[in-house]
Amino acid sequence: MDGKNGLSPLLSRLEELDSAVLALSGGLDSSFLLYALKEAGVRTLAVTGESPTTPARDLQDAVRVAMELEVAHRIIQTKEMERDGFIENSPERCFHCKDVLFTQLTGIAADEGYSVVLDGTTADDLRDHRPGLR
């Protein structure tokens, strides 16, 4: 089985989408999803959040992936450092970080006519303690 045939179920699901905003971290999962969205012909805007806590390498990887795939990409400033729940550095800090990011992504999608907001969360991620998935 070649790679495209193995992607068929995912591509079929993605082809049902009109458009998407993708939270692109630069990691493997969101980068792969960006590739699949492009293959499925979905109008996509990749968005990467940048803040003092964003590793420079992650930002560089996100920019590189979007450029290589020739997909529209935007870097937005997230302000999780202004959120009490984040700066307390509690075990729930990831929830606050994701909430800040996805609030902005949802606004972009609504303002610019994108139908869904996606990220690279996989089924394996659901087995881990991930407060950001609430």
Q: What is the pLDDT of residues 56-107, one digit of tens each?
A: 999 999 999 999 999 999 999 987 766 666 665 666 656 656 878 999 999 9
Whether 83 contacts 100, CB under 8 Å: yes
| Cross-strand partners of 73 | 46
Whether 68 contacts 32, CB under 8 Å: no
Q: Is the pLDDT of residue 130 over 60?
A: no
What integer pLDDT is reported at residue 1 of this predicted model? 36
- Rounded CA-CA distance 112/110 in Å is 6
| Cross-strand partners of 44 | 20
User: Tens digit of pLDDT for each residue in 20-56?
Assistant: 999 999 999 999 999 999 999 999 999 999 988 888 9
Query: Among residues 115, 118, 111, which one has the least CA distance to residue 47?
Result: 118
Q: Looking at 13-17, 33-37, 129-133, which range is the least confident one? A: 129-133
| Cross-strand partners of 117 | 21
Superfamily classification of domain 3-117: HUPs (3.40.50.620)
**What are the residue boundaries of the structural domains of the chain, listed by start?**
3-117
